[in-house]
Amino acid sequence: MRIAMIGTGYVGLVSGACFSDFGHEVICVDKDARKIDLLEQNVMPIYEPGLAELVAGNVKAGRLSFTTNLAEAVKDADAIFIAVGTPSRRGDGHADLSYVFAAAREIAENLTRNSVIVTKSTVPVGTGDEVSRIISEIAPDKGAMVVSNPEFLREGAAIEDFKRPDRVVVGSEDETATEVMRQIYRPLSLNQNAPVLFVGRRTSELIKYAANAFLAVKITFINEIADLCEKVGADVQQVARGIGMDNRIGPKFLHAGPGYGGSCFPKDTLALLKTADDNDTPLRIVESTVQVNDSRKRAMGRKVIRAMGGDIRGKSVAILGLTFKPNTDDMRDAPSIAIIQALQDAGASIRAYDPEGVEQARPLLKDVTFSESPYAAAEKADALVIVTEWDEFRALDLDRMSEILATPLLVDLRNIYPPAEAERAGLRLVGIGKAA
Ligand code: NAD
């Protein structure tokens, strides 16, 4: 299959590289010439484990290439994927579809045959209808078909998720298009029985939002249970284990923490609420989730302030981990941003360390000193706060930390460290959802 991937970001680049690894011929397009320049020199514009090797191998095999020229990529393609961003629209929280529609117009202007146009971006119900309208208005004689194929990969484990997905969802209204999608995903079924779920286009669009909203609810649920644990003397990790062993609940997404962030859950839950509003069907559970999570991030700043005794003016706080989760450099809506702001508002100075996120964090965080290691950040600080659970924070030398900190206080917002271990090193530990 000849595939064009429009948008070479986290999703487009990983999807394009994986499709080429399956044996398809893939051209990835981006209008950001800097990204394409870097990729042509085999420098990855994002951090994702394993990606550089995957890209290099497939470029070498002649199956993967990069261009800023959309017309060249679209020419003769069997399938053209739209994987551009759909951020929250400024002001109202609706998904901003301007990039999707602009890409659809550009595709239509350059179609040479009856390609299948696949919306991989996360888009509200009905967007496929509009993309289809745009295409048939500009290129009525080409017979192009529009399908929905939302992406479920997680940053940090994106390649594994793409190659061994729990499921692939395809929303199609056209048998020919369905067959092309079957061919594209056929390599998945060679090594396992990846269920490809064929549904209607609108259903497919809604599945993506319903999945993200459900996960956001699950995280927020355990976060609120964690708050209750702190008040009643229970341990949220044991509660999570105890409920997660029930197959109907499952153990995943029950890690209490500082609130969800990232490029998907915050914007997708908001966009779903807008769709619900527009259809006079309130989704109250999702509404509460959004509110609870929004206030939680700054509340984590207050939690640190309380742990430090209440008055932190002139004190210094060391932050470990800035990205919204480990193994990515993505800083979009990261809880660290609100936590650091709350600490700075209360008069503290901040030193921070993150293994991969500093370049993206720098423009978002004012007056933060970036350190070269967790220990450099902790030197003479009045508290050490773990915000993101990068692997390299899992086995810190706590004795050394205890010596170099001005005050031996560890606020562990990811519950990495058992209290006994911290205590042995002479650190006072404040976790999430643990009795004081
Ligand atoms: P991103 O911002 O990393 O990448 C989007 C890319 O599209 C950018 O490089 C941009 O320059 C390019 N682009 C925009 N308009 C273009 C055009 N007309 N022609 C060529 N290139 C164009 O975004 P992302 O994180 O990859 O997300 C893409 C979509 O996938 C979003 O809808 C998102 O919600 C969804 N999604 C993201 C993830 C994730 O983990 N990041 C997971 C699942 C789904």
Report CA(215)–ligand 1 centroid distance (Å).
21
- The verdict on 104 and 118 lying in the same domain is yes
The three-state secondary structure class of 24 is coil
18 catalytic residue (yes or no):
no
pLDDT band at 206 (very low <50, low <70, confident <90, very high): very high
Residues 8-17 have a mean pLDDT of 98
Report CA(191)–ligand 1 centroid distance (Å).
28
Report CA(221)–ligand 1 centroid distance (Å).
29
- The verdict on 184 and 247 lying in the same domain is no
Which pLDDT does position 190 carry in this prediction? 72
10, 37, 153, 268: residue to mutate for ligand 1 pocket, most atoms within 8 A of CB: 10
- The verdict on 191 and 214 lying in the same domain is no
Paired strand residues for 228: none
- Alpha carbon distance 374, 386 (integer Å): 10
Report CA(280)–ligand 1 centroid distance (Å).
30
- Residue showing tokens 């549904």: 199
**86 marked ligand binding residue:** yes
Indicate which atom in ligand 1 lies nearest the CA of residue 13: 26
pLDDT band at 436 (very low <50, low <70, confident <90, very high): confident
Q: Which of 72, 71, 150 is nearest to 105 (CA)?
A: 71
Give tens-digit pLDDT for 26-45: 999 999 999 999 999 999 99
- The verdict on 308 and 380 lying in the same domain is yes
CB 263 within 8 A of CB 11: no
**76 φ, ψ to 5°?**
65, 10
- The verdict on 43 and 176 lying in the same domain is yes
**168-171 and 116-119 as β-strands: parallel, antiparallel, unpaired?**
unpaired
- The verdict on 222 and 327 lying in the same domain is yes
- The verdict on 135 and 255 lying in the same domain is no
Which pLDDT does position 191 carry in this prediction? 61
**253 marked ligand binding residue:** yes
Task: For 283-306, give one letter per residue: b (16+ CB within 10 A) or e.
Answer: beebeebbebbeebbbbbbebbbe
Q: Which of 335, 386, 406, 392 is nearest to 365 (CA)?
A: 335
- The verdict on 290 and 158 lying in the same domain is no
**261 marked ligand binding residue:** yes
- The amino acid present at 203, given as its one-letter code, is T
- The verdict on 368 and 269 lying in the same domain is yes
**28 φ, ψ to 5°?**
-95, 130
**313 marked ligand binding residue:** no
Q: Residue 286 pLDDT > 70, yes or no?
A: yes
Q: How many CB atoms lie within 10 A of CB 372?
A: 9
- The verdict on 239 and 165 lying in the same domain is no
Q: Residue 300 pLDDT > 70, yes or no?
A: yes
Which pLDDT does position 194 carry in this prediction? 72
109: containing domain:
2-199
Percentage of the chain modeled with pLDDT above 70: 99
Give tens-digit pLDDT for 132-148: 999 999 999 999 999 99
Q: Does ipTM surpass 0.95 in this model?
A: yes
- The amino acid present at 412, given as its one-letter code, is D
Which pLDDT does position 192 carry in this prediction? 64
Closest residue to atom 10 of ligand 1, CA basis: 7
